[in-house]
Structure 1
Amino acid sequence: MLGTVQFGLLAACVVLFVPMGMAGWHLSRNKVLFFSGALFITLAIGVHLTPYFPSVSDFVTSVSSSSSSNSVNVVVDDRDACVSLLHEIDWEVKPKRDFDPLNNNSMNYDKFWSWRRSTSVDSCEFQRLKKHDVMDLLNGSWIMVAGDSQSRIFALSLLTLVLDSKRLETVRESLFKRHSNYHIVVDEIGMKLDFIWAPYTTNLTNVVMDYKQNRVYPDILVMGSGLWHMLHITNASDYGASLLMLKSSLTSLLPITPDFSTDGPVTGSVSVRSPHLFWLAMPTLVNSMLNTPEKKEKMNNLMSGEYERELQSSNMLRQFGGPFQLLDIGSLSWSCGIRCTDDGMHYDGVVYEAGVHIMLNALLIESHQKL
């Protein structure tokens, strides 16, 4: 039995070529027109009767549904593929023109970063967003950054993209007060940012629990921990247990759908079902550059590897089925190298700037937006 597609092609050929053949046999024009009209009427009746023949109707429906499903999968796959390529970044680190060999610190080097040139990365159209683009994207948003000193530097890097240099200097002084919280409102775009000093994962869990009373959540939530735990507790298993507790608190309190998806645009002017969640990973630690004997002893490569494995096994990250999109400061700092840090732990602002742009592009992907 011929399939529907083949039958359609055959019918089209009959309608097209049979009248032409009849004309070639020198039949009268009226006879040719009569035959062509009869074919069209027959095909029209066949199309209308198709729903009454289950086998044909089901076949057509299944083909249509399959095509529609495949097109949706392509969109989702492309989006997921682009998210997986966000950290494909190359660095160029070179001495400055006024390089001082007697003071060989990170300030002696210029650092530049860009997304890797490849067909797959180019197709995602990642962008280093300019100030007006960032302001458009974050218009009306409430952003919360919670964690240790790494998170504090990340918050400053984000504010660098929306504030002028004069105001930024004032912000820098207030933001970097030791072990303190910070709040700012950028009136021009109605954006507010809160930094919460939360160096341990248990502190992050407390931040999440504080939302339980009024059920109001930020649009964007960036969290990160590990450095303080590694230095002061030095127990990877305990760190892993605290990550599981944080994940449990998030899934029970925040309005997250079962597959941890988010709905709606990023801007705070339109409500969203769930915050956009980002996990700020620990940087690459350069043990020989750490500035105290205790740090060199406890924050070694072996311990760093154990903490990294605990993060992966906790299934906190989106790539392992968890709620957090990774901002991999570890890979960014590794790629930038030792010329991008003076103490082996805190890296130059350009590393966190790259992390901010990764987050912004992830927001564009999740929100199905293009600038």
Structure 2
Amino acid sequence: MFGAVQLGVLAACVVLFVPMGMAGWHLSRNKMLFFSGALFITLAVGVHLTPYFPSISTFVSSVVVLQNRDSCVSLLHDIVFHVKPLDHFQNFTILGGSWSWSNSAPVVSCDFQKLGRSDASDLLNGSWVVVAGDSQARLFVVSLLGLVFGSEEMDSVRAQLFKRHSDYHIVVDQIGMKLDFVWAPYVTNLTHLMMDFKQENNYPDVLLMGAGLWHMLHVTNSSDYGVSLRLLRNSVVSFLPISPEFGNDGPVTGSVSIRSPHIFWIGMPVLISSMLNTEEKRMKMNDAMWSDYDKELYRSKLLRQSGGPLLSLDIQSLSEKCGKQCTVDGMHYDRIVYEAAIHIMLNALLIESHQKL
């Protein structure tokens, strides 16, 4: 599709080059000038009358909005971390850090926002949020609740949330948000969760999920991981309460939405083998294996950038930018990495729902 700028350039090219081409066919000078003038007037009148024809105006506006939306979504991970050591305690370094979106012109034009507690609460008011996955997903939940709760409330939540390999449920009464964390370390667990949603005909407003680290450690077979991802993709597409939108080769036009939840994939972080805390992890969770698993994720067409239904929360990119100084075990990163991921998700929700705070 063409945006407004592209349409303008095309029109200018028509006005300029068509008369020149006709002149090349030995038309008289007067005929060429007449045709050029008529063409210019027709295009000018068309541009001025467009606002009075809602279907045309709506089409042009929707194209521009869609292009701007997709462009800004693609820039959400353009983040810069500012990290410095504050103190050393035994063998650990206490870090102080912050993050921000880059100052590049395209990013600035998107007007991304770090949402405060009040704005985040307004955005998530009355929502059912489900986060499913492994320890990365659990850390994501900690950051999300840390944004909508105060520090005292988080102290009471943290002990319950970090019970080993367990689910967690909470209702934030102040904003009517229901949040469920589902311990799902394997992709097959996520597929079963999708089937449960579909069977109950009850869908969350926001769904975030991701798995891979456990499979890499305990199964260590990227091809098997790829198969499970493709099964998950098929399950997600059938789970969506809309007519089929995603074909085998990407999006299919013409679907009519009934109620589509916002779905995100929490990616795997960069793994620093030398810092992993067991020999088994250092042997199996190496760079080559990580790369194989990442390729299978792309091939599965689960993510939107490869023609799938899920918007990526690229923890790889964020953890790589923050660097090895932001992790103590080569796998789980400092809170600012997951905090940045939370704000990427929130801004994606604003963009997808055409809202602005």
Report TM bin, short chain.
0.7 to 0.9
Partner of residue 194, structure 1? 180
Return the alpha-carbon distance in structure 2 between the equivalents of residues 87 and 359 of structure 1.
10
Which of 45, 60, 66 does residue 76 from structure 1 map onto? 66
Partner of residue 154, structure 1? 140
Return the alpha-carbon distance in structure 2 between the equivalents of residues 155 and 316 of structure 1.
22
Deviations 1:297-328 (A, max 9, x none): 00000000000000001010011111100000
Q: Which amino acid aligns with 1:3?
A: A
Does 2:173 match 1:138? no
Report the TM-score when normalising by structure 1. 0.79
Q: How many residues align?
A: 310
Q: Quick one: structure 1 residues 297 and 256, their matched pair in 2 at CA, closer, same or farther if it must change by over 3 Å?
A: farther
Superposed, 1:205-216 pairs within 5 Å as: 205-216=191-202
Return the alpha-carbon distance in structure 2 between the equivalents of residues 170 and 8 of structure 1.
66
Which of 162, 168, 173 does residue 182 from structure 1 map onto? 168
Q: Quick one: structure 1 residues 4 and 314, their matched pair in 2 at CA, closer, same or farther if it must change by over 3 Å?
A: same
Q: Quick one: structure 1 residues 256 and 103, their matched pair in 2 at CA, closer, same or farther if it must change by over 3 Å?
A: farther
* 8 Å Cα contact 2:132/2:184 also seen in 1: yes
Return the alpha-carbon distance in structure 2 between the equivalents of residues 225 and 237 of structure 1.
15
In structure 1, runs of 5+ residues without a counterpart are 10-55, 262-270
Return the alpha-carbon distance in structure 2 between the equivalents of residues 259 and 5 of structure 1.
40
**RMSD (Å) for aligned C-alpha atoms:** 2.4
Residue 257 (structure 1) shift = 4.5
Any idea what SS the aligned residue of 1:161 has?
A: helix
Q: Which amino acid aligns with 2:80?
A: D
Superposed, 1:241-260 pairs within 5 Å as: 241-259=227-245
Q: Which amino acid aligns with 2:65?
A: V
* 8 Å Cα contact 2:238/2:244 also seen in 1: no
Report the TM-score when normalising by structure 2. 0.82
Q: Quick one: structure 1 residues 7 and 162, their matched pair in 2 at CA, closer, same or farther if it must change by over 3 Å?
A: closer
Return the alpha-carbon distance in structure 2 between the equivalents of residues 90 and 214 of structure 1.
42
Q: Which amino acid aligns with 1:92?
A: H
Q: Which amino acid aligns with 1:128?
A: K
Return the alpha-carbon distance in structure 2 between the equivalents of residues 361 and 89 of structure 1.
13
Residue 67 (structure 1) shift = 6.1
Residue 68 (structure 1) shift = 5.2
Residue identity (%) = 58
Partner of residue 105, structure 1? 92
* 8 Å Cα contact 1:224/1:281 also seen in 2: yes
Return the alpha-carbon distance in structure 1 between the equivalents of residues 281 and 81 of structure 2.
28
Residue 256 (structure 1) shift = 3.6
Deviations 1:203-246 (A, max 9, x none): 00011111232201000000000000000000000000000001
Return the alpha-carbon distance in structure 2 between the equivalents of residues 8 and 193 of structure 1.
54
Q: Quick one: structure 1 residues 299 and 132, their matched pair in 2 at CA, closer, same or farther if it must change by over 3 Å?
A: same
